[in-house]
Structure 1
Amino acid sequence: MKPTTRGTLAAVVTCVAAAAAAAASVTPAAAIGTVPVPVPLDGVEKSLNVELPRLGAELPLPTPGAPEGPRFVEGRLLPERVVPQLPVAAGLPGVGLRAPLPEILGNDFNHLGLDAPASDVRTLGPGLTLDAPLTAPNPDRFGLPDLQLPAAGVLTPVLQAVPGADLGLGQGL
């Protein structure tokens, strides 16, 4: 093997190793789909000398996906989806709340809790489809296209989610 070939091969291997190391050291914030948002109420609690609820939230990070390209259909001059639908994956915000309760319901229940975790949402933006006023070449008419009515349509957006929540009473705060 020539020295220039060995040098080139070593440079390529070094670049691949550097790219793999960079991909392995992705920050944890980029790896998750939500960002926690604490609501600090400790200062108000200490200054007013009352017990306040504990509150926290999670905000989703939307991530756009790759749109499906236009689909060519036999017998049409224009593709089926002129403006493709854009998929976006995100989530519904989550919330966690624990509020103190006076001992109205007895000694066993000291707080009211609501946990609504962030849930996934799958969306697909609206798209557009068009059809030309001419058909594909017709062999019966010596390759000339036939006339037809032009068509336009809107592809409806899609929204899918399965939210959930848990409401309960318990001891302590």
Structure 2
Amino acid sequence: MKSTTRGTLAAVLTCVAAAAGAATPAAAVGTVPVPVPLDGVEKSLHVELPRIGGEVPLPSPGAPEGPRYVEGRLVPERVIPQLPVSAGLPGLDTRAPLPEVLGDGFNHVGVDAPASDLRALGPGLALDAPLTAPDPDRFGLPGLQLPQAGVLTPVLQTVPGADLGLGQGL
């Protein structure tokens, strides 16, 4: 293989690796990492303190589903549509030292609860007028009916998860 071919192949592989590495932070834009700095306290008191970090999700509103026109009704089915919001539950990552019973070393206990997706729909409103659609049997005049009003309930969907672990070392 010529050196120019090897150089071109190396440049292509470098670009692919850089693109693959850049895809990970772009996918994680939905959360903001929040570290808790305890290094100064740990060094001043000469003790092992837990390492704590978290993730705060950024909510992003979606496009509401527009009103639906139904045959036989004068007012659309959903007058005030439900607003979808995508976000997440906050994440937590802790790792605390656990002294060994026999010996001078440390083990650790850790809890990892990553930020999980949360989908929500806000409340909506459905109304119907006290008049029916024009009736051809009544020469195009609408009939009377009882007015109707309904509240569309909000919806929350999520699947949270967490891992608890023990291990050697810090």
After TM superposition, the score normalised by the length of structure 1 is 0.80
> Following superposition of structure 1 onto structure 2, how do residues 14-163 of structure 1 map, counting pairs within 5 Å?
32-104=29-101, 110-163=107-160
Distance 1:117 1:148 in 2: 53
Give yes or no for contact 2:97–2:106 (8 Å, CA) kept in 1. Answer: no
Question: Runs of at least 4 residues of structure 1 off by over 2 A?
Answer: 28-31, 104-109
Distance 1:105 1:77 in 2: 79
Larger strand percent: 2
Measured against aligned partners, the alpha-carbon deviations of 1:93-133 in whole angstroms (never above 9, x if no partner) come to: 00100000111388997010000000000000000000000
Give yes or no for contact 1:109–1:170 (8 Å, CA) kept in 2. Answer: no
| Corresponding residue SS for 1:32 | helix
Q: How many residues align?
A: 146
Q: Which residue of 2 aligns with 1:19?
A: none
Give the fraction of aligned pairs with identical amino acids, expressed as a percent: 83
**Cα offset for 1:76?**
0.2
List runs of 5+ in structure 2 lacking aligned partners.
1-24
After TM superposition, the score normalised by the length of structure 2 is 0.81
**Cα offset for 1:53?**
0.2
**Cα offset for 1:168?**
1.0
**Cα offset for 1:169?**
0.5
Distance 2:73 2:103 in 1: 73
Which stretch has the larger CA shift, 106-115 or 78-87?
Answer: 106-115
For the structure 1 residues 99 and 156, does the alpha-carbon distance in structure 2 shift closer, same or farther, using more than 3 Å as the test? Answer: same
Amino acid at match of 1:77: L
For the structure 1 residues 165 and 125, does the alpha-carbon distance in structure 2 shift closer, same or farther, using more than 3 Å as the test? Answer: same
Distance 1:81 1:109 in 2: 60
- The alignment's C-alpha RMSD in Å is 1.9
List runs of 5+ in structure 1 lacking aligned partners.
1-27
For the structure 1 residues 105 and 119, does the alpha-carbon distance in structure 2 shift closer, same or farther, using more than 3 Å as the test? Answer: farther
